Amino acid sequence: MRHNLFFRQLTAGVLASLTVAGLAAPIAAQRPVAAKGDAAADTKLEQQLAALVAAHRGHVAVYAKHLTTGRVVAIDADQPVQTASVIKLAILFEAMEQIRAGKAHWEDKITLAKGDEVSGSGVLTFLDPPLALTLKDVLTLMAMMSDNTATNLVIDRLGLDAVNARIAWMGLKDTYLYRKVMKPPSGPMPADQPKFGLGKTTAREMAMVMERIGRCQLGAPAEAQQAGDTAICQVALTMLRNQFYRNTIPRYLDTLDWGETGSGIASKTGSLNAVRNDVAIVAGKTGPMVISIFTYENEDKRWTADNGAELTIAKLAKAIVDAWSPEGVNGKLLVPGLGLEGAASGREASASK
């Protein structure tokens, strides 16, 4: 949620763009679990990931799935963890569903008023209210720059209860948005709220949210895809593939200038002093994969580019992509549905995991 980067210098560029468009799992107990695929390659990947996790000064939870082959690797993937700003993926998904249902529209007017500003990541806190925005504007700032003020404006528009109802609707048992960002909880809270802060999830469950966005799985499991679904998913993927914070999963994968074709990685990060998280769809040349990595209770609490947890996430992601897509990433493949046959009809499988 808090990223010490150059927000003030970015303000002009952002405004221009708006006009255009106690977790106690011991490290030693963390063991990778892989399924499907070449046994020798899977064993090698398991060993690589186990070594990286063992070397990390903190705790790590990983869930990765190759969406074409079904290969899976998991390390403490069902351990509840602090989301930090990764919970904003669930907020984005609820916005997509409300737009699909006609309850909200990209062009809905939202006003930044005096007193709305909160600290932490983003640029809206540096701008002078009142400021006229659209729902698409604030969602873009939330997804791309993790703007905390924008996130709260989105929550006000959609409803915090609606976000949690959507999370439950997806069948997620350990994911929850407790409150607005940098605001105290309102009303009775679950007993575990002080432990998790803004939100909680697991590596597996947040991967499921990202997979739904990538596959463009909107609506109930048996519901037919609607004509506007692809356009909604395209907007969301465009936000996520233009993620501003790229020091974690994309760090060693963004090897070429993707300005013309677009990045092959759509991601959402989350950070606190002792937390670094990233969840991404990576458009591998062998097929898309979802990678979900959470680190917590990290010894390295520095807000620097060489933060140890950020390096660990980057190394884990590179090991997974090198094993599953040795030829790398192709941004042209990052499209709604991810080029998977029956992407929309795959809702049943995704919802039942």
- What residues form DSSP beta bridges with 292? 63, 279
Give dist(CA 169, CA 177) in Å, integer: 14
> Over the stretch 297-337, which tens digit does the pLDDT of each residue have?
999 999 999 999 999 999 999 999 999 999 999 999 999 99
Kindly give the confidence (pLDDT) of every residue in the chain, 353 residues in length, as a single tens digit, with 9 standing for 90 and above. Answer: 444 333 334 444 444 444 433 333 333 334 444 444 577 888 899 999 999 999 999 999 999 999 999 999 999 999 999 999 999 999 999 999 999 999 999 999 999 999 999 999 999 999 999 999 999 999 999 999 999 999 999 999 999 999 999 999 999 999 999 999 999 988 899 999 999 999 999 999 999 999 999 999 999 888 888 999 999 999 999 999 999 999 999 999 987 656 667 899 999 999 999 999 999 999 999 999 999 999 999 999 999 999 999 999 999 999 999 999 999 999 999 999 999 865 544 443 443 33
Give the sign of the dihedral formed by CA 301, CA 302, CA 308, CA 312.
Answer: positive
Q: What is the DSSP secondary-structure string of 141-152?
A: HHHHH--HHHHH
Report phi then psi at 79, rounded to 5: -80, 120
**Cα–Cα–Cα angle for 125, 140, 341, rounded to 5 degrees:** 155
Tokens 């993620």, residue located: 243
Report phi then psi at 119, rounded to 5: -80, 180
Residue 24 CB-density burial (10 A; 0-12 exposed, 13-18 middle, 19+ buried):
exposed
pLDDT at residue number 68: 95
The answer to whether 162 touches 170, Cβ cutoff 8 Å, is no
Q: Which domains does the chain have, with CATH numbers?
A: 7-352 (3.40.710.10)
> Over the stretch 121-175, which tens digit does the pLDDT of each residue have?
999 999 999 999 999 999 999 999 999 999 999 999 999 999 999 999 999 999 9
Nearest Cα neighbor of 203 from 291, 270, 276 is 291
- Longest CA–CA separation in the chain, Å: 60
Letter for the amino acid at 9?
Answer: Q
- How many helices (H) and strands (E) would you count in the chain? 11, 11
Q: How far is CA 61 from CA 24, 69, 190, in A?
A: 12, 22, 23
Question: What's the first-to-final CA gap in the chain, in angstroms?
Answer: 29
> How many CB atoms sit inside 10 A of residue 13's CB?
10
pLDDT at residue number 9: 40
